[in-house]
Structure 1
Amino acid sequence: MAPDAGVVFIGRIHTPWQRRADCPRNVLRAREAGGTAILELDPIYRPGLHRLEAFSHVIVLYWMDEAERDVMVQYPRHAEGPRGVFSIRSPARPNPIAFSVAAIIAIEAEHGLVEVEQLDCRNGTPLIDIKPYFSTIDSVPDARIP
């Protein structure tokens, strides 16, 4: 398929996992393993960190660049039977975009570094975006899940 649009990576994510096979299966497992992740922004995007320190949490969007992109039905371990890609959180999908809500640990804006709670990706994963988390907008306490 021809792409409909382009994505600009704004930096890279640094985690302890060097290979995809080493990565935890999800962000909860990553946080159980301990440590933190570092979001490193390219110099041109560093001014975008201005006033981020006012927030306790961010939404981190990242590109799972080693994920399969042509799998539409999967058999997840946690579910009975097959599931369509849009009903699960697997990185194998047409656009392998992952996201996590993470607490900010520290910010070094002049160096383009944001330290956050651990993430479930390999070291060097492309960073797509950072957005402030708003509990009044982003939380849905009565959301239904199977």
Structure 2
Amino acid sequence: MSYSMNPVGKIHADEDGCFIELERRFIPAMAGMEGFAFIQVLWWFSDCDNDQSRTSLVENKPYRNGPDVMGVFASRSPERPNPIAVTAAQVTYLDHDRGVIGLGWIDANNGTPVLDIKPYTPSDDRVEAPAVPDWCAHWPKNVESSGEFDWNTEFNF
């Protein structure tokens, strides 16, 4: 069985901010996005799309306060069998003419391919009281405060 994916756009991230620039043919898919304050961005860990990264199933101490060994399904490591990532991102503006979606922040590199975009809706995406292991219980409780958190003190990757 084989699958094929066609990126719908690319991440632009630099000192001036973050945004998604859609491929021209996907601009009509922006219709109706007004009013959504957040979106789920599915993107490709393109920097980790290689044989070694795709065969990595276990990470040694990926988080400074975490267990010594973790499976990639228990981490947000970019090295995984299928280098797919998802980020809940704040929408700061929409430019339908140019096919641009402004973002408050995203944890993807400049030029990263975007696979899909979905509206964030609390009925489908929010968990009122998620349980997490003690080692990460001090992490921010929401996306809004994540941007101010010093993530460099948490990750070893």
User: What residue is the counterpart of 2:98 in the other structure?
Assistant: 111
Supply the distance in 2 between the matched residues of 1:117 and 1:97 (Cα, whole angstroms): 21
CA distance in structure 1 between the partners assigned to 2:2 and 2:56 by the alignment: 19
Q: What code does the residue aligned with 1:114 have?
A: I
**Which whole-Å deviations, capped at 9, do the CAs of 1:8-52 have from their partners, x for residues lacking one?**
101100001xxxxxxxxxxxxxxxxx8631100001000000010
Q: Which runs of 5+ in 1 are unaligned?
A: 17-33
Aligned counterpart for 2:85 among listed residues 92, 95, 98: 98
TM-score, length of structure 2 as denominator length: 0.76
Q: How does 1:49-88 map to 2 (within 5 A)?
A: 49-67=30-48, 68-75=53-60, 76-78=62-64, 79-88=66-75
- How many residues are paired up? 127
Coordinate RMSD, CA, aligned: 1.4
Structure 2 residue ranges without an equivalent (≥5): 134-157
AA matched with 2:19: I
- 1:138 aligned onto 2:129: no
What is the TM-score of this pair, normalised by structure 1? 0.82
Give % identity. Answer: 32
Aligned counterpart in structure 1 of residue 10 of structure 2, from 9, 12, 18: 12
**Structure of higher RCO (CA pairs closer than 8 Å, 6+ residues apart):** 1
Q: Which stretches of structure 1, 4 residues or longer, exceed 2 Å deviation after superposition?
A: none
Q: How much does 1:6 deviate?
A: 1.3
